[in-house]
Chains A and B, each alone.
Chain A
Amino acid sequence: MVWCPAWPLTAAVLTGRSGRGPEFEPSQPLMVMHAQRVSCCSPAAWREGVRPGQRKRQAQGACPHVVIVPHDPDRDARCFEPVVRAIGTLVPLLDVESPGSLLLATRGPSRYVGGDVALADRLMALAATGSADALDASGGFGVGVADGRLAASLAARAAARAGRPVVVPPGSSATADFLAPYPVSVLVPTVGCDPQLIDLLCRLGLQRLGDVAALSATDLLDRFGATGVALHHLCSGTDDSSPSAIPPPPDYTVRESFDDPVPQLDMLVFAAKSLADHLDAELTARGHLCTRIVVEAESEHGETSRRVWYRAEGLRAAAIVDRVRWQLDGWINGTDPPSAGITSLCLTPTDLRADSGRQQGFWGERSRADDDAAKAITRVTGLLGPQSVRIASWCGGRDPRGVYELVPVSEVGADGRRHSERPLAPPPWPGSLPAPSPTVVHHDPVEADVLDARGRRVTVSGRGAVSAPPELFVRSSHRSTVMHWAGPWPVEERWWDQRSRRAARFQIVVDHPHGPQAYLLEISGGRWFVVGEYR
């Protein structure tokens, strides 16, 4: 474990030196406030009596000239990156816990450099590269080598205080001996233990880690459940959660600088295309997919446009170019355009994930037909417009016109998968028609007329009684005889608001030269409409 006790202060000093923030002197008393409490302080402040956890008034009472450094996790992370990289030159697999603290598996590297002590010295030297005297603000790095996460972080803290590496010999008994004298309260900052649990342990008389380790695991399990077992493991040095070592994120930033400032959008987009292609090829070669990218452009006069773009499905070259175009178009042709041409363009992928989206599957996954169809759909969308290609999405309901809604593919995407959950056994909709459903559905009402034997329009009374049996079906002055009919099935929908609608539905079969033809009709407000046709 490599640990820096007050990394935010070093970060602040470094940032101040590079001119991107207020300047701080490492030797003066400094402290960082977070959530109304002192979160860390410099050794100078410590000597004056400032302690983490104090309120601002207490801290200022102890040291009136203490300087408050703003709390900024981003800055801390940014400044820690060079340290991670420097250590990464010796140990490729690192687990960065938080800015200022990183964990690594020592077995391989210490064999390589010749022992744990030698490794710790090398790590100290690497960590201090480039930030030598700025580390005065935070008390320097401490390197601790021990079995387990808890012992290593305690060793690193001891090392930071002592100013030299602390190496705990391997083996659970040695680790337990090292841990035993520590108070139980160290579990809060190191492994994120619940403070209430620590309080309870103290009140039970278990002041030190050794006291907890002396109890049997069974008793702790009885009293605290799974937490108790984990606690026992931690305190007796048998915690074996090794650091999950992952390679540090590589820097994929691509940048293009123009010797002659470029004022036109087209040329910028062209440049962006080559950058995006390059980036995409690099990411694809490593099997990565970028989901978040920072696009930055700078004009000759120093104005910048910086925006973060996110796309859950991943940003391929074309998608990146689109985003660059949108951003620059908005900037150059917007209300606050840059006063000069653009001199540099920079793309930084910030979120990467393994690219697994385009594999062809065996069963139930994306098939080649789906890919081909997606291409064809994209092409047709380009020809006809985004609203022109639609896919049916299940809504439910009793009206055959509304059971499925057609939604543009450009909004939901077409990948052969279900867009809205259609239940396998649809819930019963009182008043819905049983299968078969009409094959032709008229969303715009088509007027028709149904007459009885005496040539009068058939009506339905408010209580759902038919005035006379239908005999004649008239549609655009074409008359046909009603052979069979059923209804009325009253529909009263949304009576609670102004969309309320009362209608009665009928199914009729009429005579047709090529055989009987069936219709679904609706009478609403005394007028007949064709809702559906069974063709």
Chain B
Amino acid sequence: MAIDSLRRPASELAAGLAPQHGSLTFAHERLLPVAPGLAPLFGVEVAADGAPLGLTRGHTVMCSGVAAVSCALAIAAAPSRAGSWVAIVGEPRLGPLAAAEAGVVLERTVFVDDPRGGDSASVLSALVDGIEIILVPSALITALPTSLVRRVQTRVQSRGAVLLVVGDTSSIVPDLRLTTRAHEWEGLGNGFGHLCRRRIGIELDRRRGRPTRGDVWMPGERGDVEPCMPAGGSVVPLRRPG
């Protein structure tokens, strides 16, 4: 009898617990999918069915380095494919074709003009209310006073959205920092060929825990992320000295 009660599915248990503990959310409800190519970096298993879950809702993610835009698009792509909406704020130069190649579903992507001045915070807050992935250039964050930035970040947390900051800025403290570094571009010779794919190194730094590092093809030959398989595994966790 006691064992039977333990065997009940977790959702049933949650229904029993809910009255005492208020709303209960499961870990998988707090996570959004990540591209399979990035899964080792996020430290999650690539499941046979569906995209691996690894991106925590409510987090602020900063992508910096030479491949910052590709990296942000790659992160936005998996949730977008799973049904989330994406808002690209204040970056009209972002190429829709590259976004589509990266896997972002353009039917669920809106391009919002740069909300100049103090409006930025209210625009971001309004977007966070209904759209799960917000992609902003770092310049827009830098232009905001720190108090407003913090308010936006709190809002992102409470609504379970993800704020993707493209570029480096010191006026926001990200939960996740992805620093990219290009290794090589393949496909281009001297007067022949065309750009095929780029191998980049990404360092993923959470606020806690040790950073992970890995190499991926970004963009790969079709424009999306492809795992890079050098001999001996792709992800080597860094060790803190001492």
B172 on interface, CB distance cutoff 8 Å: no
B142 on interface, CB distance cutoff 8 Å: no
B109 on interface, CB distance cutoff 8 Å: yes
Q: How many residues of B contact A (CB 8 A)?
A: 63
In the complex the two chains form, is B185's CB within 8 Å of A435's CB?
no
B78 on interface, CB distance cutoff 8 Å: no
A509-B188 CB under 8 A given contacts A436-B101, A439-B95, A440-B69: yes
Complex Cα distance A369/B82, Å? Answer: 11
B204 on interface, CB distance cutoff 8 Å: no
B200 smallest CB distance to A (angstroms): 7
Taking CB atoms, residues of chain A closer than 8 Å to B195 are 436, 486, 507, 509, 518, 534
A29 on interface, CB distance cutoff 8 Å: no
Annotate B203-227 by CB proximity to A: 1 below 8 A, 0 otherwise.
0000000000000000111110000
Taking CB atoms, residues of chain B closer than 8 Å to A406 are 92, 96, 111
Taking CB atoms, residues of chain B closer than 8 Å to A436 are 98, 101, 195-198, 219-223
B97 on interface, CB distance cutoff 8 Å: yes
In the complex the two chains form, is B70's CB within 8 Å of A439's CB?
yes
A494 on interface, CB distance cutoff 8 Å: no
A43 on interface, CB distance cutoff 8 Å: no
Option from A369, A404, A418, A509 in Cβ contact (under 8 Å) with B83: A369
In the complex the two chains form, is A376's CB within 8 Å of B223's CB?
no
In the complex the two chains form, is B123's CB within 8 Å of A369's CB?
no
A377 on interface, CB distance cutoff 8 Å: yes
Option from A375, A404, A435, A441 in Cβ contact (under 8 Å) with B223: A435
Option from A376, A434, A466 in Cβ contact (under 8 Å) with B131: A376
Binding site of A, secondary structure by majority: helix, strand, loop or mixed? mixed
Option from A380, A392, A515 in Cβ contact (under 8 Å) with B127: A380
In the complex the two chains form, is B83's CB within 8 Å of A367's CB?
yes
A158 on interface, CB distance cutoff 8 Å: no
Residue of A nearest to B104 (CB): A392
Complex Cα distance A404/B130, Å? Answer: 24
A223 on interface, CB distance cutoff 8 Å: no
Complex Cα distance A496/B99, Å? Answer: 33
Option from B67, B109, B126, B220 in Cβ contact (under 8 Å) with A376: B126
In the complex the two chains form, is B193's CB within 8 Å of A373's CB?
no
In the complex the two chains form, is B98's CB within 8 Å of A439's CB?
yes
A380-B191 CB under 8 A given contacts A403-B97, A435-B101, A439-B95: no
B119 on interface, CB distance cutoff 8 Å: yes
In the complex the two chains form, is B107's CB within 8 Å of A416's CB?
yes
A-B contact count, CB below 8 Å? 194
B196 smallest CB distance to A (angstroms): 8
B1 smallest CB distance to A (angstroms): 37
Option from A388, A392, A469, A509 in Cβ contact (under 8 Å) with B109: A392
Taking CB atoms, residues of chain B closer than 8 Å to A484 are 185, 188-190, 193
Residue of A nearest to B197 (CB): A436
In the complex the two chains form, is A535's CB within 8 Å of B67's CB?
yes
In the complex the two chains form, is A374's CB within 8 Å of B130's CB?
yes
A389 on interface, CB distance cutoff 8 Å: yes
Annotate B97-124 by CB proximity to A: 1 below 8 A, 0 otherwise.
1111100001111111101000100110
B240 on interface, CB distance cutoff 8 Å: no
In the complex the two chains form, is B73's CB within 8 Å of A439's CB?
yes
A301 on interface, CB distance cutoff 8 Å: no
Taking CB atoms, residues of chain B closer than 8 Å to A377 are 110, 130-131
In the complex the two chains form, is B70's CB within 8 Å of A486's CB?
no
Complex Cα distance A388/B89, Å? Answer: 10
In the complex the two chains form, is A434's CB within 8 Å of B194's CB?
yes
Residue of B nearest to A416 (CB): B108
A514-B97 CB under 8 A given contacts A388-B112, A390-B111, A404-B106: no
B137 smallest CB distance to A (angstroms): 10
Taking CB atoms, residues of chain B closer than 8 Å to A414 are 110
Within 8 A of B (CB), among A386-430: 387-392, 394, 400, 403-404, 406, 409, 414, 416-419
In the complex the two chains form, is A391's CB within 8 Å of B126's CB?
no
Annotate B66-88 by CB proximity to A: 1 below 8 A, 0 otherwise.
11111001000000000111010
Taking CB atoms, residues of chain A closer than 8 Å to B110 are 373, 377, 389-391, 409, 414
A380-B73 CB under 8 A given contacts A372-B130, A437-B98, A507-B188: no
B224 smallest CB distance to A (angstroms): 9
Complex Cα distance A439/B198, Å? Answer: 13
Q: Which of A380, A443, A514 has the most CB of B within 10 A?
A: A380
Within 8 A of B (CB), among A477-519: 484-487, 507-509, 512, 514-518
B184 on interface, CB distance cutoff 8 Å: yes
In the complex the two chains form, is A518's CB within 8 Å of B198's CB?
yes
In the complex the two chains form, is A369's CB within 8 Å of B98's CB?
no
Option from A373, A384, A394, A485 in Cβ contact (under 8 Å) with B119: A384
In the complex the two chains form, is A515's CB within 8 Å of B131's CB?
no
Taking CB atoms, residues of chain B closer than 8 Å to A383 are 115, 119, 122-123, 126
Within 8 A of A (CB), among B109-164: 109-113, 115, 119, 122-123, 126-132
A317 on interface, CB distance cutoff 8 Å: no
A53 on interface, CB distance cutoff 8 Å: no
Residue of A nearest to B222 (CB): A435
* A residues whose Cβ falls under 8 Å from a Cβ of B: 367, 369-370, 372-377, 379-380, 383-384, 387-392, 394, 400, 403-404, 406, 409, 414, 416-419, 433-443, 466, 469, 484-487, 507-509, 512, 514-518, 532, 534-535
Given A416-B108, A435-B101, A516-B182, output 16 extra A-B contacts at Cβ < 8 Å.
A369-B83, A373-B108, A373-B110, A380-B123, A388-B112, A403-B97, A416-B85, A438-B95, A466-B191, A486-B195, A512-B66, A512-B182, A514-B182, A515-B182, A534-B219, A535-B66
Could you list 24 examples of A-B contacts with CB < 8 Å?
Answer: A369-B108, A372-B129, A376-B130, A379-B126, A379-B130, A391-B106, A391-B109, A391-B110, A392-B100, A400-B97, A403-B96, A436-B98, A436-B101, A436-B220, A437-B101, A440-B94, A440-B95, A441-B95, A508-B188, A509-B195, A514-B66, A534-B185, A534-B219, A535-B69
